[in-house]
Structure 1
Amino acid sequence: MADRTGGEPQTDGRSTRWDDHKAQRQLDLVDAAVALIEDEGTRFKLQRLAERVGLPRSVLYRHFKDRATLDELIRRRVVESFMRGIEPTLTFDGTIEESVRRVVGAHLDWVAQHPRLYAYMGVGEHAMGDGSLVADTKAAIALMLSDRFGDVLKALGVPEAPIRSVAIGIVGFVDTSVNQWVRDEQRELSEEELRAMLCRSVWAVLDATLRNLGVELSPQQRVADL
């Protein structure tokens, strides 16, 4: 209703409450879809989601513009879950070796706990190319890593270094290796062997980068001491 005194239009509180309700209902449905994928796999049908939440399919469609909108919201929810697992590991606790193992381990642990959600992010009709939400997420993780690396390098007296490119390369390598391992029906490495290989490889890249900058560190060096 417009304000007769010429001010800003009045907002009906009932409308705002209804908007909040719809937003929460949509979030609940997305969470139910994520749970359905965890239980039944990546190629779920909307009818199965409708049955799971006890709604007619026609009512379910009212909460989303189309299937693509639902898929995008699911991907965002999955990415949020993944980032919640990764972000706390990007700290200065422990040695360099422990820090590398912690970050790589968080990635592998999340994939091991949610293999179907991980598959949903990158296979079949849900596969996404450059510029996608997943690509943006990898870039965000790489930027967080490069910020941490940059802080350490500054403490070592190296103010400028191409560390962002190195971080992007590390994230891409780890993600591609894990993705291939998950999809491989005849795995040549166990999960623990993959974890060890990734940690060795990440440290090798970091060590070579540091040496090129004139810095030599032991993987047993405590990060906080730097």
Structure 2
Amino acid sequence: MAQTVKDAPATSDGRDRRWDDHRQARRDHFLDTAISLIDAEGSGVGVAAMAKAAEMPRSVVYKLFGDRKDLDEHIRQRIVAEVSAAIWDSLVATGSIRDLVRGGVETYVEWVAAHPHLHRFIGSGSQSAPTTESRASRSGKRSFASRVRDLIEAAWAQAVAEGSLPPGVAEHLAYGAVGLVDSVVNRWLATGAKVTTTHELVAFLTDAICGIVEAGGRGAGIDVDVDAVMDLGITPE
């Protein structure tokens, strides 16, 4: 009897884990389906259409996600995570600061051009539950900016033989670069990309960000060579 009682929690834990795994798999499947529909049709896609495409009863969807705003937030989190990983994977481990900047900017601009509906969804959510600057969006920008800050500090240490980066400058440069790209690309997409090609936009943003880095160096009394080759120690996601 004692042995049976002792073993019961382990059996229960095993069932709980299997149920949690099953629940997470259903959530992942639904999110993937929802993102594919939004990518193709835009933010007006309703939950009923998503549920039908995922071959899942709508009632089950609301057991997996609290309401439409909760669902939208999970969709945004998934999109932001995938975009951030793609940008990070595109960064060169060995090259110049300019190479590094160009690789990240090009990946992002090309992704936005290929997935305008997803990009807009990150910013404003669904038509039925619009929300600007969601937690996922803010958190994604902060997280990516923090990693850019670390890269700037690593690049600075290799590009500059003498002289340390003044406190706070790396963070200013990182958030300035991320904010610049975000605002310029948002405006570029809003104009229908009729004025500037993706190639021209990448070139402009690359030069602009390199200019920001050089300006940070001048402020510290140091000339930074953004074209010097270095090993930045970048590892994939």
Using the size of structure 1 for normalisation, the TM-score is 0.87
Give the counterpart letter for 1:213 in structure 2. A
Report the CA distance between 1:38 and its aligned residue.
1.1
Q: How many residues align?
A: 223
Cα separation, partners in 2 of 1:74 and 1:174, compared to 1, 3 Å = same
Q: Deviations over 1:99-127 (max 9, x none)?
A: 22111111112212222111101136444
Give the counterpart letter for 1:194 in structure 2. L
Give the counterpart letter for 1:50 in structure 2. A
CA distance in 2, matches of 1:160, 1:7: 59
Equivalent of 1:154 in 157, 166, 176? 157
Structure 2 residue 231 is the aligned partner of structure 1 residue 224: yes
Q: Deviations over 1:45-98 (max 9, x none)?
A: 111112212233223323222222211111111011101111123444222322
- Aligned 8 A contact 1:89 1:103 in 2: yes
Indicate the structure whose relative CO is greater, using CA pairs within 8 Å and at least 6 residues apart: 2
CA distance in 1, matches of 2:74, 2:193: 33
Report the CA distance between 1:202 and its aligned residue.
0.8
- Aligned 8 A contact 1:210 1:216 in 2: yes
Aligned counterpart, 2:145 = 142
Report the CA distance between 1:30 and its aligned residue.
0.9
CA distance in 2, matches of 1:160, 1:197: 25
Aligned counterpart, 1:105 = 106
Report the CA distance between 1:186 and its aligned residue.
6.5
1:152-191 equivalence runs, <5 A = 152-155=155-158, 156=160, 157-161=162-166, 162-185=169-192, 187-191=194-198
Aligned counterpart, 2:235 = none
Q: Deviations over 1:185-215 (max 9, x none)?
A: 3732122111111111111111111122222
Q: Deviations over 1:107-158 (max 9, x none)?
A: 11221222211110113644433x7221121111111111111123234233
Aligned counterpart, 1:38 = 39
CA distance in 1, matches of 2:56, 2:144: 38
1:8-157 equivalence runs, <5 A = 9-12=9-12, 13-123=14-124, 125-129=129-133, 132-155=135-158, 156=160, 157=162
- Aligned 8 A contact 1:85 1:110 in 2: no
CA distance in 1, matches of 2:6, 2:23: 31
Using the size of structure 2 for normalisation, the TM-score is 0.83
Q: CA RMSD in A?
A: 2.5
- Aligned 8 A contact 1:3 1:10 in 2: no
CA distance in 2, matches of 1:34, 1:187: 26
Q: Which runs of 5+ in 2 are unaligned?
A: 233-237
Structure 2 residue 219 is the aligned partner of structure 1 residue 215: no
Q: Deviations over 1:20-44 (max 9, x none)?
A: 1111111111111111111111121
CA distance in 2, matches of 1:186, 1:115: 11
